[in-house]
Amino acid sequence: MLARLRPWLRWALLVSVAAGAVLVLWILVSINSDSPVLYEDIQEHFKYGSIGSEPGGSLLAPIGGVLPPYWVFRALPSVCADRLPGGYATFGFVTEPGKDLPVGISRRRRFGVDHVGLNCAVCHTSTVRDTPDGAPRIVLGMPAQTLDLQAFVQFVLDCTLDNRLTADAVRGRYPARGGPSLFERVLMRTGLIDRLKLQTLNLRNRMAPILAPSLPRWGRGRVDTFNPYKAIQFNWDLTKLPGSELIGASDFPSIWNQKPRQGMHLHWDGDNDSVDERNLSASLGAGVTPVTVDHPNLKRVRDWIWTLPPPAYPYPIDAARAAQGAPLYATHCAVCHGDHRFRDGVVSGARIGTVVPIADIATDRHRLDSYTLTFAMNQYGLYPDSPYRFTHFRKTNGYANHPLDGIWLRAPYLHNGSVPTLRDLLDAPESRPVTFYRGYDLFDREKVGFVTDVPAANGQLFTPFDTRVPGNGNGGHRYGTALSPDDKRAIVEYMKTF
């Protein structure tokens, strides 16, 4: 049949078949692509490397991820400029010159589309400044105390669903050079935005109960770890849960010196004693799923923080006063928290890493109650038939005693960040500040913490924090509160050496 065709027609047919084969191959290669942006330097990897939180699964049925594709994500601040006049830095993200994404946002090409996701640094990186006009210093591994993650997620959901976000709006913001792949440009013209809006609407509906105005806001430096997890990973209907269970905001923790923490009760409520399981569970909270997780990239972070020390206190320390405070700390604090040697891997304190019953510590119990036995049992179903299956989670009855390495950078204090400074923590609960502002990175050298009496600075509006709001209580933890003011100052001075 082919031989009887005219030569030119035969060649045209062969060329058409070859072109079709190339097109099919191109499409197959594109939709099967999975290539994260790689960083040789471990600190750059921590700040910008992917852990697999970008959407996976398939092009038409994506799994995981909480952020839109890269080129849409870049466009959102200008599309919804009225909602976000200062760009993503408005939410307290750490940014660096010459970088197109904030610290904590990764980039990965899957299915021929450039995606973005959250990584470990989004919750565990922040800044410190010495003076109001001073340059902020980036500190890796410290709690992200400037970040308002809830406001960021709310903005992304709302702007993605805004009528102003269209394919034309995104295409009009492509750079003059570079830009998306040809495959992604084709997808943008053939319904990518419509599918994205449908997926986003589904995600917003699932998360709506914990974003409701009737619930306390997380605010800067805090996150509700497990309630979004219930909605995203397990697809629970959060409207069927008790209202009090939906109040679970707590401070971002630091992640230094993980090696000596192995075997301790981890998370604020001590619900796991495996560093690796804790890391994998935390990644699920960032949008990773068992289908999309990047185990090698996550292990790179794990190996780095295994022995990562906290920064030393950079300001002058009164050596005589610190020496006065050391035995006082040993008497009133060390049995639960160890001492300054933990920064060098020395574990001390008979009760360090154990759980104190809520009846004894008497701090706000909402975070404890948000992690339920039913939820713990569901976690055991993750990663089935694999070496990563969870086996260490358990429901506890209190909060864990954590080591205090780098404690000067971990303000505000207690699990919910309800006490501004170390000096305030040594006052009786009834004498601690009732209201203050969270999110400023200006350091308070006298009380040890961050300045909390300023509502705004450097274009940032800080979170007003009210300890009378459910979940924000500053009661309990009365240890050392009966000491004299001079002894309290001495303990605080000694803790600067941690």
268-287 pLDDT tens trace: 999 999 999 999 999 988 88
- 158 shares a domain with 14: no
pLDDT at position 11 over 70:
no
In angstroms, the CA 187 to CA 418 distance is: 47
H/E element holding 17?
helix 7-31
Is residue 462 classed as helix, strand or coil in its secondary structure?
coil
Secondary structure of residue 407 in the 3-state scheme = helix
Task: Examine the domain organization and report whether 14 and 100 are in the same domain.
Answer: no
What is the band of 450 on the pLDDT scale with cuts at 50, 70, 90? Answer: very high
- H or E stretch covering 400: strand 398-400
Q: Are residues 13 and 62 in the same domain?
A: no
- Give the pLDDT confidence score for residue 22 in this predicted structure: 55
- Specify the pLDDT at position 278: 96
| Buried/exposed code over 458-473 (b: 16+ C-beta within 10 A; e: otherwise) | eebebbebebeeebbb
Side chain identity, residue 18: A
How many angstroms separate the CA atoms of 93 and 84, rounded? 13
pLDDT at position 34:
84
**Statement to judge: residues 4 and 47 lie in one domain:** no
Highest mean pLDDT out of 84-88, 283-287, 440-444: 440-444
- Average pLDDT of the residues in 185-211: 94
| Residue 63: band (very low, low, confident or very high) from pLDDT cuts 50, 70, 90 | confident
Same domain, 38 and 58: yes
Q: How many domains does the chain have?
A: 2
Model pLDDT for residues 215-246, shown as the tens digit of each residue: 999 999 999 999 999 998 899 999 999 999 99
Supply the pLDDT for residue 74.
Answer: 97
Residue 467, CA distances (Å) to 84, 268, 424, 432 in order: 28, 19, 13, 10
> Could you tell me how far CA 102 lies from the centroid of its own chain?
13
Q: Domain containing 222: what range?
A: 32-495
Distance CA 111, CA 44 (A): 25
Q: Do 3 and 93 share a domain, yes or no?
A: no
d(CA 167, CA 185): 10
pLDDT of the residue at 165:
98
**324 in the same domain as 386:** yes
If asked whether residues 16 and 140 sit together in one domain, one would say: no
Is 96's pLDDT higher than 90?
Answer: yes
Question: Are residues 424 and 277 part of one domain?
Answer: yes
Q: Which amino acid is at 307?
A: T
pLDDT category, 19, cuts 50, 70, 90? low
- For residue 319, the surrounding DSSP H or E stretch is helix 319-332
Cα→Cα distances 223→102, 122, 480, Å: 18, 11, 28
DSSP string, 166-208: -HHHHHTTS-SSS-S-HHHHHHHHTTHHHHHHHHHHHHHHHHH
- Answer yes or no: do 121 and 9 share one domain: no
Mean pLDDT of the chain: 93
Confidence of residue 14 (pLDDT cuts 50, 70, 90): low
* Sign of torsion over alpha carbons 252, 253, 258, 264: negative
The separation between the first and the last C-alpha atoms of the chain, rounded to the nearest angstrom, is 85
Task: Count other C-beta atoms under 10 Å from residue 36's C-beta.
Answer: 21
Per-residue DSSP letters for 379-396?
A: HTTSSTTSTT--------
Instruction: Tell whether 41 and 126 lie within a shared domain.
Output: yes
Fill in the DSSP letter of residue 38: P
Given a cut of 80, is residue 20 above it in pLDDT? no
Q: Are residues 78 and 8 in the same domain?
A: no
CA dihedral for 149, 380, 241, 56, sign (positive or negative): positive
Q: What is the mean pLDDT of the segment spanning 200-204?
A: 95
Q: Is the pLDDT confidence value at 62 over 60?
A: yes
pLDDT at 9: 60
Q: How confident is the model at residue 93 (pLDDT cuts 50, 70, 90)?
A: very high
